[in-house]
């Protein structure tokens, strides 16, 4: 693990793009960390953009959601570049995908073609790797043993055919009895080693991308979900810090009450923490999670910051989020412990939702910037709407939308949906207010709102790439409260034209967001 830089990256005026690596173009069934990622970093730098924000980069489970990962510290092996593996000598040219890439992330093609290629790369490593490569992997394994050994065994057990959630495993494995665990490690030694190989390669490829970004002056902004997936190595290996009952089943789960995105609220289903147990341990597990994310990224968006003050606790048997109650989070004590262990925390607080004074107070005492979203800016009284540009403080990050929002074009052109909390009249009023704010006829509403975000007083402005490309609802990344069709968007090769880069660069310069510029008074 590398040292965390003791800096605050949010105090300079800058702009960036939100794009998950799975959405990058390329010949394969999914975006990856190889040449397309490095090309995207060069595009950002050429346009004067200084942030590349991503969603969580852990290995995903059912539903492909980056927020439901098998591990909060592991990397997603699907993101490995086969081209880079070929450069290392672990694949032959005929193992590389040919022809055009899928226009959406294709999980079936990942399973059918990419996963066998990754297995082939491991077999070639086992058969041909020299001593320096083997020593490099073993050093990585030793340095990350605290989480890697449990994760690798967890995945090996699932790959063995025990594909149910871990609470469906044999009692001894579910309860982590030492001798049965030792026998499982021996029996599955090669599969465990394969999972270690993927994580080692992820570490190397990520390091190459980050080095290129640093050379270009592009910072990486990560995303750390407050909750972890139930079917994960995190929960299986650390059952004592979660609210679990008989057989390791959750007694309560996470979510939010009815809000902007859903009349029924959202039942996320993640297990909740026993914060009293974590407090007694000095928040050790959580601090290591945060350290791991900050080792990968220059800064981190802390998802659902509200949950550190209070969280919506839903009985596990409840099918919706309507039934629930608020339970208390760890508050400032956790962040004091984290700062004591890690130093300055370059954190962006995702403070969207039912924002109360105690949440605002914690955010401001910690000095974390919060978020402002232009899609929320045009409803109600502009004087009281904190998302309206006239109310943006410098210490915040403004977005046109997030991964949970529709695209700007989809939002502007769309109609009220059955699940929407907005009426048709409210939608019309918001459109009219948006047009008054930008002073145009809305023909290029995406560029209008990008310009509005960039001209904001907020020190940092970040725009989803879908908005830069002017795409409609078909390019939406996620529809909260739905289970199908999410997290699959990719942009096509050649979509980032010189014209788009020049237009972005012009807005960056015009709004004073070139490197080294300070915010206007």
464: β partners = 18
Map residue 381 onto helix, strand or coil: coil
Q: Is 303 a catalytic residue?
A: yes
Query: Of all residues in the chain, what percent are helix, strand and coil, respectively (each to 5)?
Result: 45, 10, 40
Cα separation, 304 vs 226, whole angstroms: 6
Going from the C-alpha of 66 to that of each of 100, 168, 225, 229, 504, the distances in angstroms are: 25, 23, 9, 10, 28
Among 390, 406, 397, 416, residue whose Cα is nearest residue 446: 406
DSSP 469: T
Task: Give dist(CA 397, CA 418) in Å, integer.
Answer: 31
Catalytic residue among 191, 350, 430, 448: 350
* Burial (CB count <10 Å: 0-12, 13-18, 19+), residue 307: buried
Asked about 350 being catalytic, the answer comes back as yes
C-alpha 226/C-alpha 224 separation (Å) is 6
- For residue 104, which phi and psi values (nearest 5 degrees)? -135, 155
Structure tokens at 271: 């297990």
Active site residue 298: no
Separation CA 143–CA 137 (nearest Å): 10
Catalytic residue among 404, 426, 444, 493: 404
Distance between CA atoms of 114 and 80, rounded to whole angstroms?
A: 9
Phi, psi of 413 (to 5 degrees): -95, -10
Which residues are designated catalytic? 303, 350, 404
């Amino acid at each position: 693990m590398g040292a965390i830089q003791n800096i605050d990256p949010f105090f300079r005026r800058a702009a960036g793009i939100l794009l998950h690596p799975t959405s990058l173009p390329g010949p394969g069934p999914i975006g990856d960390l190889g040449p397309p990622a490095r090309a995207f970093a060069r595009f950002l730098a050429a346009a004067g953009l200084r942030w590349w924000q991503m969603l969580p980069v852990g290995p995903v489970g059912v539903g492909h959601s980056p927020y439901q990962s098998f591990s909060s510290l592991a990397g997603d092996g699907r993101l490995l570049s086969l081209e880079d593996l070929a450069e290392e000598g672990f694949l032959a040219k005929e193992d590389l995908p040919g022809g055009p890439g899928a226009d959406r992330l294709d999980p079936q093609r990942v399973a059918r073609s990419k996963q066998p290629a990754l297995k082939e790369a491991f077999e070639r490593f086992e058969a041909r790797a020299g001593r320096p490569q083997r020593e490099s992997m073993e050093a990585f394994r030793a340095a990350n043993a605290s989480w890697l050994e449990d994760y690798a065994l967890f995945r090996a057990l699932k790959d063995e055919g025990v594909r149910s959630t871990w609470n469906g495993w044999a009692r001894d494995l579910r309860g982590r009895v030492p001798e049965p665990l030792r026998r499982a490690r021996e029996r599955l030694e090669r599969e465990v080693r394969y999972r270690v190989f993927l994580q080692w390669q992820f570490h190397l490829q990520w390091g190459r991308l980050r080095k290129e970004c640093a050379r270009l002056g592009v910072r990486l902004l990560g995303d750390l979900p407050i909750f972890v997936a139930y079917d994960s190595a995190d929960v299986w290996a650390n059952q004592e810090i979660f609210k679990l009952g008989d057989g390791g089943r959750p007694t309560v789960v996470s979510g939010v009450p009815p809000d902007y995105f859903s009349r029924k609220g959202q039942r996320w289903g993640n297990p909740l923490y026993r914060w009293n147990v974590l407090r007694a341990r000095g928040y050790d597990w959580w601090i290591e999670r945060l350290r791991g994310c900050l080792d990968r990224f220059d800064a981190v968006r802390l998802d659902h910051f509200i949950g550190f003050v209070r969280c919506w606790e839903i009985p596990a048997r409840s099918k919706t989020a309507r039934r629930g109650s608020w339970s208390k989070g760890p508050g400032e004590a956790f962040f004091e412990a984290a700062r004591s262990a890690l130093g300055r925390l370059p954190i962006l607080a995702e403070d969207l939702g039912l924002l109360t004074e105690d949440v605002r107070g914690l955010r401001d005492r910690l000095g974390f910037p919060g978020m402002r979203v232009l899609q929320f800016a045009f409803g109600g009284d502009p004087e009281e709407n904190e998302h309206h540009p006239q109310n943006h403080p410098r210490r915040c990050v403004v977005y046109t939308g997030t991964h949970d929002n529709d695209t700007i074009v989809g939002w502007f052109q769309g109609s009220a949906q059955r699940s929407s909390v907005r009426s048709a009249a409210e939608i019309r009023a918001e459109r009219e207010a948006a047009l008054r704010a930008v002073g145009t006829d809305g023909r290029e509403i995406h560029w209008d709102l990008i310009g509005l975000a960039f001209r904001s007083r907020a020190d940092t402005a970040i725009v989803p790439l879908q908005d830069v490309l002017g795409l409609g609802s078909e390019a939406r990344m996620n529809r909260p409260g739905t289970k199908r069709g999410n997290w699959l968007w990719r942009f096509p090769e050649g979509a980032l034209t010189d014209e788009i880069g020049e237009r972005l660069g012009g807005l960056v310069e015009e709004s004073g967001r070139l490197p080294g510029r300070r915010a206007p008074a």
